[in-house]
Chain A
Amino acid sequence: MVEQEVALEVRGKTVQLWQGGDGPPLLYLHGAGLYIWMPVHNWLAGRRRVFLPVHPGFGESGGFDEIEDIEDLVFHTVDVMDELGLEQADVVGLSLGGWLAAELALRHPQRVKRLVLVDAAGTRVAGVTRGNIFMATPAKARALLFHDPASRLATTLVPDAVPPERMETVLRGREAAARLLWHPHVAQRKLTSRLGRITAPTLVVWGSDDKLLPLAYGEAYANGIPGARLVVIEKSGHLPPFEHPERFADVVLSFLEA
């Protein structure tokens, strides 16, 4: 699979971008924990041109100082689409990226062809507790994120100790995540009440066993967005694209090509 890592210049800020594959454009909006090209992106790139821009503050991307809330990240993402020449794209977002995708579809409907929300943050469901990833030890984080916390995938992605050479990137990424996810109460309340305005055909994909954002949050998205369909990935936690990359890619590509 052709895969390139490049640095874009967007309004004076550096944006790290992974891209690969051929076909209609697919904009993949990453979550707070992982912002590299993974096997799932290869699967998607088999039939799509996949763009994975790294959000400000994460990885090698600059511009964190200009991000105060999700609204700023929406503006930034539109800038990235402009820079990539993506007048319109299918948008797939995981977790934080799912929240971003929903906000993008709400504010810029002409830019989003089809929308896929995966274990997406951003909504409120009264009475269903969300996990708190910031308070979690690595072991607890694995339990919140993965169907099988003892799997090699889990211990690789969330190790007990961060290797020293990755420490700075991890610390900066956690800071960037906290900036957006610490207490987005107001944004969540408003997004939940605005979901009915989303016009893009929408697929909601959720891990059956997501303990960070339980399935009720997926149902809230599916019920709130007109015509949205919910697909539950069995034996998956918060990260279906990484836990079941092939199955996940199948579900997503079938929807996009329907």
Chain B
Amino acid sequence: MQIVCFHLMPWPHLPADFEQKHDSAWLTLPNTLFDPERGRTLYTDYLDQLVAAERLGFDVIGVNEHHQNAYGLMPSPNIMAAALTKMTSRVKILVLGSALPLYDHPLRVAEEVAMLDVMSGGRMIAGMVVGLGVEAYSYEVNPTFMRERYREAHDLIVRAWTEPGPFHFEGKHYDFRFVNVWPRTYQQPHPPIWIPGSGSIETIRFVADRRYPFIALPYSQFDVMCEHFDLLREYAASHCGYDVPPSQIGWPAMIYVGETDTSAREEFEPHFWYLAKKGLRLPREYMFPPGHTSVESQLRPGHAKRKFISLISSWKEAEEGGYAIVGSAETVRQKLREGIKRAGCGIIQGIFQVGSMPHAMTLANMERFARHVMPAIREEFPQ
């Protein structure tokens, strides 16, 4: 089992009347709500949490990429990764980013990841994401071309890492006459590539064909996520002729370990709702611009079954849907065990800081997890 401490770096200071005044925490939320002084403290705390994760024995620390929102303050995850290469020494660093179609110059991604890989002595894991639908607005990228651009940028980057330069890459969306990335990646032939996905058929085929680890997105029902894993296993078996190993499947889970089930819920719940109702406040029309998700995927019966976290309204629903793993150490161990077996995953992408959760509470959560949960999970599910 690879255990990841993943961070979203949310803005936790949205006002109490935010929902009354704003219909979105993304794209159109005025950036005057961001306070740079508080932001400075946040970046410090959040980076310290990821550094603590190395000390606590996590295998991987991870950052992600989102644009123009209060949900996550990392429009450029590589900047965070750069800081982390110098603040840590052993742990692997996952960037989940990069949102390839947003960039007219994906060679920059190839260059930056190569730099990070050399700086970190080969500790990078390179994520490649399509980007959310709302980011088609943020970066003015035509959503009907995002999947094409994603694939083409992926091919360009992998070739830039693996083929001797210079060479000419001539595609539909990208045309570079001199592909010749300096520096080359530290890991050869290139850093591992992990792909997050919402379960679209296109992404599942893409990862199955290339045997990349597939990391689900964390905000719908556990069962829906497992169906996506099933789909991946079925597709790989029937079309690619192999059995997907657990190491190719990643379960992203918000995890909170308290002293008791009751105190855990009491401590965690306000921050969960901050995330669900504030950070992920995102109109459907922003989330699903035309073409971002294929018509085929949108018409699939499973698409309607998914209930996005922002639409749930009770803790009972959160618990039954498996939106978060919360409780005493014993409860969390038990829930994770069951979940890992059902999901068939070999990667747990834990999210320990959720919504408005303060620094000390986050660290205490991580420590309880590392001390009382992680060893049992490692023992039961060895790498």
Contact = CB atoms under 8 A, between A and B. Distances in A.
B142 A182 contact: yes
**Category for how many chain B residues contact A:** 10 to 19
Contact of B137 (A135, A137, A174, A175): A135
Contacts of B291: 174-175, 178-179
A177 interface: yes
B40 to A, nearest CB: 33
Contact of B144 (A135, A136, A168, A179): A179
A178 B283 contact: no
B140 A183 contact: yes
Given A134-B285, A136-B285, A179-B291, A171 B144 contact: no
Given A134-B285, A134-B289, A179 B142 contact: yes
Contact of A178 (B140, B285, B289, B299): B289
Output the residue of B137, B286, B290 with the most chain A CB within 10 A. B290
Given A134-B285, A135-B286, A136-B285, A178 B295 contact: no
A182 B143 contact: yes
Output the residue of A136, A174, A175, A179 with the most chain B CB within 10 A. A175
Interface string B290-326: 1100010011000000000000000000000000000
A78 to B, nearest CB: 23
A174 B283 CA distance: 17
| Main secondary structure on B side of the interface with A | helix
Contacts of A177: 290
A194 B81 CA distance: 48
A135 B290 CA distance: 10
A137 B144 contact: no
Interface in A3-24: none
B231 to A, nearest CB: 21
A168 B290 contact: no
Contacts of B140: 182-183
A49 to B, nearest CB: 33
Nearest to B142: A182
| Main secondary structure on A side of the interface with B | helix
A168 B300 CA distance: 11
Contacts of A171: 290, 295, 298-299
**Category for how many chain A residues contact B:** 10 to 19
Nearest to B172: A68
A134 B290 CA distance: 8
A90 to B, nearest CB: 31
A167 B142 contact: no
Interface string B87-131: 000000000000000000000000000000000000000000000
Interface in A175-191: 175, 177-179, 182-183
Interface string B225-245: 000000000000000000000
A135 B295 contact: no
A129 to B, nearest CB: 13
Nearest to B299: A168
A175 B299 contact: no
Contact of A183 (B142, B283, B285, B290): B142
A57 B256 CA distance: 48
Given A168-B295, A168-B299, A183-B140, A174 B290 contact: yes
Nearest to B137: A135
A113 interface: no
B73 to A, nearest CB: 23
A172 interface: yes
Interface in A155-210: 167-168, 171-172, 174-175, 177-179, 182-183
A167 B299 contact: yes
A132 to B, nearest CB: 8
A170 B67 CA distance: 29
Given A168-B295, A171-B299, A178 B143 contact: yes
A227 to B, nearest CB: 35
A137 B283 contact: yes
Interface in B45-98: none
A182 B140 CA distance: 8
B286 A178 contact: no
Contacts of A178: 142-144, 289-291
Contacts of A182: 136, 140, 142-144, 289
Nearest to B27: A135
Interface of B: 136-137, 140, 142-145, 283-286, 289-291, 295, 298-299
Interface of A: 134-137, 167-168, 171-172, 174-175, 177-179, 182-183
The 8 closest A-B pairs by CB, nearest first: A174-B290, A178-B290, A175-B291, A182-B142, A179-B144, A175-B290, A171-B295, A178-B144
17 contacts: A134-B290, A135-B285, A135-B286, A137-B283, A137-B284, A168-B299, A171-B290, A171-B298, A172-B295, A174-B291, A175-B144, A175-B291, A175-B295, A178-B143, A178-B289, A178-B290, A182-B144
